[in-house]
Chain A
Amino acid sequence: MSFVEVENVFQSYGARPILERVNVTVNRGEFISIVGASGCGKSTFLRLLLAQEQPTRGSITIDGRPPAQEPDRTRGVVFQRYSVFPHMNVRDNIVAGEAFARSFGRLFGSERRAAQERADAMLERIGLNHVADAYPATLSGGMQQRLAIGQALAAKPLILLLDEPFGALDPGTRLSMHDFLMHLRGEIGMTVFMVTHDLSEGFKLGDRVLVFDKPRWDPTDPDAYGATVTYDFDARNRGIPFQTIMEETHVLRPV
């Protein structure tokens, strides 16, 4: 049994299908990039993995547990924006990764000091220890996203979900974020799902690249069908242009 199993998932909003017949299995520690046209349902797929929404059909299981009904600590997430708390300083944002699970969202006494020490170790690791007492709004976009990733990891989730995490960053910062993420992954070995609209980013970071697209197309009614995983590339042997197609799909293969 695989670590993450997505079984025959459909999702529609009202009468409009967004995703149909999505089947994916993922092993522990794999980095999955998700690419596809804008509006094809990549974020929707991530919301399903997050259990922020329930699929209209099908099921998603992680580590053999029953499907989640709402987001919880087994799933970490970083969005393009709004992923850190603006009213807490950088250190408290990391401590929140432990404290929010408590009944009043706070830690006290020695527990609090221990969590702060772990937070400082995490800040060291993500290169933010020099701004531990600053508020997020004073940080650059790249630093805020690093903080968001560190905060998500502080909760020790089973899978980490990233929805275009570097989409709002300039190209230089993006590259350093790639190094940061690959380095962090080398240390922690997370199972990651990352949505990106940048193909080369997907192949550079991912072990696998899933392409979402509509396998059927009605020219008179573009919304008639939903998208599914049309390609599942193995990007491990150095990515573009050496990718190999892992699975047979029911759509055209590239020549």
Chain B
Amino acid sequence: MRLINRTPSPALRAFLVLVPFALAFVVYLVASEIRLEANPSDRLLPSPGTILDTAVSLLTVPDRRSGAILFWGDTWASLTRLSLGVGLAAAIGLVFGMLIGLLPHVRATLSIFVGVLSLIPPLALLPILFITFGLGEVSKVVLIVIGITPFLIRDLSGRVMEIPREMIVKAETLGASSLVIALRVALPQVLPRLVQAIRLSLGPAWLFLIAAEAIAANQGLGYRIFLVRRYLAMDVILTYVLWITFLAWVIDWLLKAVARRAFPWTEVSP
């Protein structure tokens, strides 16, 4: 039988899913053992036990100065910035994507401009943002917005233009105005794509968030990682990295679940 026609059984599939995770863990474990063997006070690859102890104290022991648990403060600050940035970008992307996709005049005016904007490396603008908006929350949120909005606009306007002409003409023959076509034909068909595009943008959004926090902030997940880097606190850094990964995974899973419930018509197959 050809390899392309062989499929794993459910049990084997579950096992195969775990294999790379287990392998990565074992590789880390061995490397950490070797280094700690040579030098018990090595800080580069702390043992999993040490990381666990650090994680527990990060989650339970309040900061001596403020009395708050920094871990949750950092998480809250970062998630607020991330959701504000992504939410704003999604709103702008949706509005301009629809306008560009539906209206030839707007398309003629903006599509090249947005294409050029999307070529600007957002991180190169960070100093300008800090100068313009100060070192506070605004510049971090704006960096995320600038970073992912051009992609969202282009992806969504492309999706609007993929709507078959026949369908638009059909709506016209039912008496639909441009507004009705936008609201009742284009928008419902673009929303599933918006969720998909947001899922794809979350990677870059985290990147911009952590970069901005690393440079100027007084709390946040990225800020903490770059702060403790000075003390080579790998156990703290790894705990935060694992936590960010977990958050990203949960957000992605939530968006997927929301899309499945909100747009049942995309699930049905003929």
A186 to chain B, nearest CB (A): 23
In the complex, A221 has a CB within 8 A of chain B: no
Encode B180-197 as 1/0 by CB contact (under 8 A) with A.
100111001100000000
B268 CB–A CB distance under 8 Å: yes
Contact of B166 among A76, A79, A100, A155 (CB under 8 A): A79
Report whether A85 and B185 are in contact in the complex, using a CB–CB cutoff of 8 Å: yes
Contact of A103 among B166, B169, B177, B185 (CB under 8 A): B177
List the 5 closest pairs (A to B, CB-CB), nearest first. Answer: A101-B175, A105-B180, A71-B172, A82-B164, A105-B184
Please tell me if the beta carbons of B173 and A75 are within 8 angstroms of each other in the complex: yes
Q: Is the beta-carbon distance between B173 and A50 smaller than 8 angstroms?
A: yes
Chain A, 82-105, CB within 8 A of any chain B CB: 82-88, 96-97, 99-105
Q: Is the CB of B179 within 8 A of A71?
A: no
**Which one of B174, B189, B265, B268 lies within 8 Å of A155 (CB-CB)?**
B174
Cβ of A37 within 8 Å of any chain B Cβ, yes or no, is no
The answer to whether B268 and A100 touch across the interface, beta carbons within 8 angstroms, is no
- Quick one: which of B169, B177, B188, B263 has the most chain A CB within 10 A? B169
In the bound complex, residues from chain B placing their C-beta under 8 Å from that of A97 are 174
| Nearest CB of chain B from residue A99's CB, rounded to whole Å | 8
Specify which chain B residues have a CB less than 8 angstroms from the CB of A99 in the assembled complex: 184
* Contact of A72 with B175 in the complex, beta carbons under 8 Å: yes
Would you call B175 and A83 a contact (CB within 8 A)? no
In angstroms, Cα B166 to Cα A168, docked, is 15
State which of B173, B177, B179, B268 has its C-beta within 8 Å of the C-beta of A135.
Answer: B268
Q: Does A157 contact B (CB under 8 A)?
A: yes
Question: Which residues from B are CB-within-8-Å of A103?
Answer: 177, 179-180
- Residue ID in chain B nearest A136 by CB atoms: B265
Q: Are B189 and A86 in contact (CB under 8 A)?
A: yes
